[in-house]
């Protein structure tokens, strides 16, 4: 069976959020329907076939780790988080098992990603072994999370600055990328307090 890990990037500085008046040290610790945003994202990943779930922390490390207290996710610290998202991707991929066939890369500030979408990415990857990556598409646009196969890990480790997993797809031949339809918004993230307020109004989570 195909083995796919999950990497949650949660090391960013939340600069826009704090500059716009966000009260929390990191937006990822802000609560959404009773739980921190980052915990929502991690729990979505944990509810899928992906394993292990690796969370890359950096800025406000203590707050993010506290938000994940008791979670079975693996924590990986990125000391170079200030250099951009690429460094966190490198740390996350390095923390995945050597026998993982790929990794779903999730952004810690995207709480609207359903476990079913993550499993759909893995299923599409498993069904077409020649594919090197899988991306969700809504209204003609690719979004997140993105699944990258082991064959792309070396290229991912060469990324710098704010280049993320999606940037790898641009250089691939069309046949190397599997696009799947996504029912939900795959581009919404929480960048500002206004985004957080919108998320609190419109995102609904299943009762627990």
Written as tens digits, the pLDDT of the chain (208 aa) is: 899 999 999 999 999 999 999 989 999 999 999 999 999 999 999 999 999 999 999 999 999 999 999 999 999 999 999 999 999 999 999 999 999 999 999 999 999 999 999 999 999 999 998 899 999 999 999 999 999 999 999 999 999 999 999 889 988 998 999 999 999 889 999 999 999 999 999 998 887 6
CA 34 – CA 111 distance, rounded (Å): 13
Tokens representing residue 101 in the block? 């066939």
Select from 43, 42, 183, 152 the least CA-distant residue to 89. 152
Alpha helices in 103-192 (DSSP H): 115-127, 153-156, 165-170
State whether CATH 3.40.50.1860 applies to domain 4-202: no
Q: What is the pLDDT of residue 184?
A: 86
Residue with tokens 């995945």: 96
The number of residues making up the chain comes to: 208
Please give the backbone phi and psi of residue 119, each rounded to the nearest 5 degrees, phi first.
-65, -35
pLDDT score of 208: 66
Closest C-alpha to 4, from 91, 90, 129 = 129
Beta bridge partners of 51: none
Q: What b/e string do you get for 133-158 counting C-beta neighbours within 10 Å, with b at 16 or more?
A: bbbbeeeeebbbbbbbbbebbeebee
């Amino acid at each position: 069976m195909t083995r796919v890990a999950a990497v949650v990037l949660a090391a960013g500085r939340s600069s826009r959020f704090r500059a716009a008046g966000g009260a929390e040290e990191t937006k990822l610790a802000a609560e959404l329907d009773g739980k921190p945003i980052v915990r929502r994202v991690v729990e979505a990943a944990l509810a899928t076939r992906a394993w292990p779930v690796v969370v890359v922390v950096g800025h406000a490390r203590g707050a993010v780790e506290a938000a994940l207290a008791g979670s079975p996710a693996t924590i990986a610290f990125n000391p170079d988080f200030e250099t951009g998202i690429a460094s966190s991707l490198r740390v996350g991929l390095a923390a995945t098992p050597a026998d993982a066939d790929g990794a779903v890369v999730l952004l810690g500030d995207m709480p609207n990603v359903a476990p079913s979408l993550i499993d759909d990415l893995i299923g599409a990857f498993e069904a077409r072994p020649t594919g090197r990556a899988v991306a969700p598409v809504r209204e003609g646009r690719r979004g997140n999370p993105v699944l990258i196969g082991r064959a792309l890990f070396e290229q991912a480790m060469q990324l710098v600055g704010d280049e993320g997993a999606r940037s790898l797809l641009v250089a691939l031949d069309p046949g190397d990328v599997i696009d799947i339809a996504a029912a939900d918004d795959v581009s919404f993230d929480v960048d500002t307090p206004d985004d957080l307020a919108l998320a609190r109004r419109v995102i609904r989570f299943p009762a627990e």
